[in-house]
Amino acid sequence: MGPLAGLKVIEFAGIGPAPFAAMVLADMDADVLRIDRLPGSRADDEVPMVDEVLNRGRPSVGIDLKSPKGVEAVVRLVESADALIEGFRPGVMERLGLGPDVCMARQPKLVYGRVTGWGQDGPLAHAAGHDINYIALAGALHPIGRSGEAPVPPLNLVGDFGGGGLLLAFGIVCALVERSRSGRGQVVDAAMVDGAALLSAMLHGMRATGSWTDERGANLLDTGAPFYEVYETKDGKYISIGSIEPRFYRQLLERTGLATEHLPNRMDREQWPALKQRLHTVFKTRSRDEWCAIMEGSDVCFAPVLTPGEAPRHPHLKHRGTFIDVAGVTQPAPAPRLSRTPPAVSRPAGRPGQDTEATLAHWGLSPAEVAALRESHVVV
């Protein structure tokens, strides 16, 4: 029994942040029902793929959301739901007849979770966009990169998953906790632009104290500092160094053999390029594995830069079970860990609509209702 056992969540199939939020709730043992649209119900480039990781842990039902009977079937499901997740542009759910007003009229305790790029209101609310655009506007993309080079998009980790899906899941759980006191549901408006800005909170604090500038690649954490950087090794691989504190920096010098050299002051920013070049030269003298043997497990603040394929094989991550195998697919394990009610993956991702009849029955629809929906081709 996971920490969210007993909670029932309806997820409208989408891409990126919405399925990620549903996944982390399902990992915590929420009973999540994923509603997939019927084949051919929208443009091919908008149909979510069967994702072997993001779609794990929950059954899929196929419902025609353009059919009044399909919409009514969803509203019936909402009557027994605790929360709902949708990631469409503002107004789409309302046009389908499944907006917050309709759903919460049937289930006043419903927590209605919405995730978009720009938010439910504002001048850009209805514009298309992707992670790269949301974090760019939020000021989170500009600082990521090296001096004299263009910003580097951090995959879609900051907008879609950190600032979007994870904060949507957090907002839903917060609203559920509040509901336990008030007995009332509410709408959660998770905007990736807001979330990306929130993830930048420390950076704004550093700017306020004058310890961070808008010059890219010239600050403590953006590859400006020589002691917070990635370095290439003799075999063309990379290691990461994060020796910010003086005591950790002293260990860095000792383990690289530089402790006896006359080096520039570590906090003299004008000398950072020269100090970085010296470290670069030293790290090129050994392979990544050789540096691991010298530094790993010490207080240097060191780790090898592993590929996604290498990471699951690292001894520390193997010991913790950070990656697991689900139906032959290696993937990250649920996180965080709870001591009494640990999270778990209950099932691998399935095909859209493969669990329709059994899941509708589990959620309270009668055999006659399910049969009628099937015969009218509202569900598959």
Alpha helices in 161-310 (DSSP H): 167-182, 192-199, 201-208, 246-256, 272-283, 288-295
Strand 8-12, strand 31-36: pairing? parallel
Q: Which of 130, 189, 299, 314 is catalytic?
A: 130
Q: Which residue has the tokens 């919409």?
A: 71
Residue 267 tokens, joined: 């906090």
**Which residue is it, tokens 């394990």?**
333
311-344: burial string, b at 16+ Cβ within 10 Å, e else: ebebeebeeeeebeebeeeebebbeeeeeeeebe
Q: In one letter, which amino acid is 368?
A: A
Residue 160 appears among annotated catalytic residues:
yes
130 is catalytic: yes
Does the N-terminal peptide bond of residue 336 adopt cis geometry, omega within 30 degrees of 0?
A: yes
User: Who's near 72: CB < 8 A, 6+ residues apart?
Assistant: none
> Which ranges of the chain does DSSP label H, i.e. alpha helix?
17-27, 68-78, 92-96, 100-106, 131-137, 167-182, 192-199, 201-208, 246-256, 272-283, 288-295, 315-320, 356-362, 367-375
Rounded Cα distance between 285 and 373, Å, is 69
Options 82, 160, 222, 355, the catalytic residue: 160
86 close to 113: Cβ distance less than 8 angstroms = yes
Catalytically annotated residues: 130, 160
